[in-house]
Amino acid sequence: MSIEKMDYINIVGFMDELDRTLEKCIESQCFHISKSVEEQDGMKRLEGENPYKELLKDIISADTGGLVEFSEIRYDEKKYYDLEKLKLDFSQMSQKLDAYSRETGELTEKLAERKQAYQQLAHLKGLQLDMAQLFKCSHIKPRFGRLPNESAQKLSYYEDKSFIFIPYDDDGNYKWGIYFAPADSIAEADRIFKSLYFEKIWIPNFVSDTPENESLKLEKEIAVLEESLKKKIEERNGYILEIQDNLKCCFCRVKYLYDLYELRKCVLVYKDKFYLTGFVPHTKSDEFTELCNTVRSVSVVSKPAENSEKLKVPVKLKNSRFSRPFSMFVEMYGLPSYGGFNPTTLVAITYTIMFGIMFGDLGQGLLISLIGFFVYKKSGNKLGAILQRVGISSAFFGLLYGSVFGFEDLLDPLYKAIGLSHKPIEVMDSTMMILLGAICIGVVIILISIIINIFISLRHRDFSAAFFGNNGVAGLVFFGALLAGIAVMMTGEGSLFTVPYVLGLIVLPLILMFFREPLGCWLSGKKYHLEGGIGDFIASNFFEVFEFILGYATNTLSFVRIGGFIFSHAGMMSVVMLLSESFSVGASPIVIVLGNLFVMGMEGLIVGIQVLRLEFYEVFSRFYDGDGVAFEPVKVNYDVNVD
């Protein structure tokens, strides 16, 4: 339930053992490599183009018609160890795939040409012309094609020119037709029609009959070509199925080599030696050292991560089984820094409780939990695991509110059986209690957050924040004293706000907060430098303290939403019930089911977001930085993206 302890690892060895060492690092599955090590003392970073890049790209881009999806598979390392043999294998497969690709491409192109010709002839079907006779004309030249309707309107400009355009079809955008011009002025007509975006259509050389008859011939030819193409594709697919395992193995092997080579960019070299640094969880440190020591010339030095000097230590959260899925929310905000506080357990507990309170319904809670169970089981999505937990909490509070799928009286016999005269909490009759309860929850959470911040600040020897900050001891005293005073006043049993109480527990902490920076420096034994003059100091600190006071009020009141959502849930469910009553007996259950699903979907989502908002804004903002680096052990990534 904290942050896993790390060891800082330094690996030194001879260059000829580098690849084997990197292989061991991958094999260990627990080595986080440092990418940000700076070149120093004559040590140079290994650069250079990855020699496996081209081959890998060739494999990925092999035309497999989308039938092969590259991913990690187990393969016989010995069989694919010899890269030259692998290249030869792949080259043979690639050549055959290229040949198939070329052949299907040619057939597709030929087919497309014929289809285009067929479409074009379709526009000529109304033309009862013997095409052969037309093409034989020596003094008059015809041109078939289509003219945009926009351009057709401009033809009247060319009245005096010696051409004629005869449209025989109109598809809304184009006029299909022929223009004729005498042989000696066809060039001019061509130029004019080109400027009007006339698109000539290709009339096949073999056209010698009427367009209608030629269309029939083309239809037959298209059918034959389609059949040939189909056969060729089937043949190619058969071949791909035959080689796909081999191809995938080639991919995995080359991707492994590629990623291994990429790791070289994190290696520093001095003469014939390499230097590699990284981090390993302390619990795995010995195991890792032992594994690396199997490489002959390599020496591994392991130190506590705190000795890693400038390098940022990666963070691996250590969480209990219950809180583990909630690390998703923590990671979403940003990981804690190494040596910081892992808030996952706090989030898990507060999130589960607050969600349950805001969305209390026994039936819906259990259903949510069940859905979460299946989602997690099926996809491994952490959100599913979170739903399982918050669903149970929701069911528990539903039991207290006496609500099952919106039926408010269903649990009455149960309460009577255990000796209760009514529900433990009657939501609609306990407005003030619920709202005050919500604020109390907020106060407790804020106080816990402040106490956590005090401990973290003390650990980092930040005395200013620990003692005098708004989330330090001064803030804790001020906030606690103020709340205690208000609470006593509300009970009507006198007032705590006596002069010594106000001066000592309210005014003094405010003064300490005002002078927090100089006081912090004084405690740490540092000299305080006043920047911007005394006026600037007073003005900025006055407004900051004023903002702190406002912050306490707004942050506390922010928790009122917990109560608000209890009413909102009860209200929405009563609307569903009212609606169901207004429908017939047959339709009523459908309305109840749909209503429940709607409320679960919409309100569940809103409550989930609101609780997360409370966690991030009211809790995390008090003590959490979220600037840690995630622990990512080096591994081969078997995806097809290559830089």
* Chain positions contacting other proteins, by CB under 8 A: 148, 150-151, 153-154, 156-157, 171-174, 195-197, 199
Q: Which is nearer to other proteins, 155 or 599 (CB)?
A: 155
Among candidate residues 122, 136, 321, 281, the one with its CA nearest the CA of residue 212: 122
Q: Which is nearer to other proteins, 195 or 498 (CB)?
A: 195
Cα within 13 Å of Cα(154), Cβ side:
12
- Please answer whether residues 80 and 253 qualify as being in contact, where contact means their C-beta atoms are separated by less than 8 angstroms: yes
Minimum distance from residue 168 beta carbon to other proteins (Å): 18
Minimum distance from residue 401 beta carbon to other proteins (Å): 43
Q: Which is nearer to other proteins, 37 or 121 (CB)?
A: 121
Among candidate residues 528, 638, 641, the one with its CA nearest the CA of residue 248: 638
Cα 67 → chain centroid: 27
Separation between Cα atoms, residue 245 and residue 400, nearest integer Å: 58
Q: Which is nearer to other proteins, 122 or 606 (CB)?
A: 122
Q: Which is nearer to other proteins, 196 or 476 (CB)?
A: 196
Minimum distance from residue 53 beta carbon to other proteins (Å): 22
The string over 69-102, giving b where at least 16 C-beta atoms fall within 10 Å of a residue's C-beta and e elsewhere, is ebeeeebeeeebeeeeebeebbeebbeebeebbe
Separation between Cα atoms, residue 591 and residue 313, nearest integer Å: 55
**Amino acid at the residue 414:** L
The per-residue DSSP string of 495-532 comes to: ----HHHIIIIIIHHHHHHHTHHHHHHHHHTPPP---S
Q: Which is nearer to other proteins, 97 or 192 (CB)?
A: 192
Among candidate residues 641, 589, 608, the one with its CA nearest the CA of residue 329: 608
Can you list the positions of beta strands (E) in 233-312?
268-270, 273-281, 299-304
- Please answer whether residues 467 and 513 qualify as being in contact, where contact means their C-beta atoms are separated by less than 8 angstroms: no
Q: How far is CA 573 from CA 430, 597, 618, in A?
A: 17, 11, 29
φ/ψ region of 601 (left if φ > 0, alpha if ψ in -120 to 50, else beta) reads: alpha
Minimum distance from residue 384 beta carbon to other proteins (Å): 33
> What pairs with residue 301 in β-bridges?
10
Minimum distance from residue 173 beta carbon to other proteins (Å): 4
Cα 171 → chain centroid: 47
Minimum distance from residue 197 beta carbon to other proteins (Å): 4
Minimum distance from residue 157 beta carbon to other proteins (Å): 5
Q: Which is nearer to other proteins, 111 or 291 (CB)?
A: 111
φ/ψ region of 11 (left if φ > 0, alpha if ψ in -120 to 50, else beta) reads: beta
Q: Which is nearer to other proteins, 41 or 159 (CB)?
A: 159
Minimum distance from residue 214 beta carbon to other proteins (Å): 21
Q: Which is nearer to other proteins, 115 or 282 (CB)?
A: 115
Q: Which is nearer to other proteins, 68 or 155 (CB)?
A: 155
The kind and range of the H/E element at 365 are helix 362-379
The per-residue DSSP string of 17-35 comes to: GHHHHHHHHHHHS--EE-S
Separation between Cα atoms, residue 385 and residue 328, nearest integer Å: 11
Separation between Cα atoms, residue 38 and residue 423, nearest integer Å: 66
Q: Which is nearer to other proteins, 170 or 625 (CB)?
A: 170
Minimum distance from residue 172 beta carbon to other proteins (Å): 6
- Please answer whether residues 334 and 615 qualify as being in contact, where contact means their C-beta atoms are separated by less than 8 angstroms: no
Minimum distance from residue 151 beta carbon to other proteins (Å): 6
Minimum distance from residue 56 beta carbon to other proteins (Å): 23
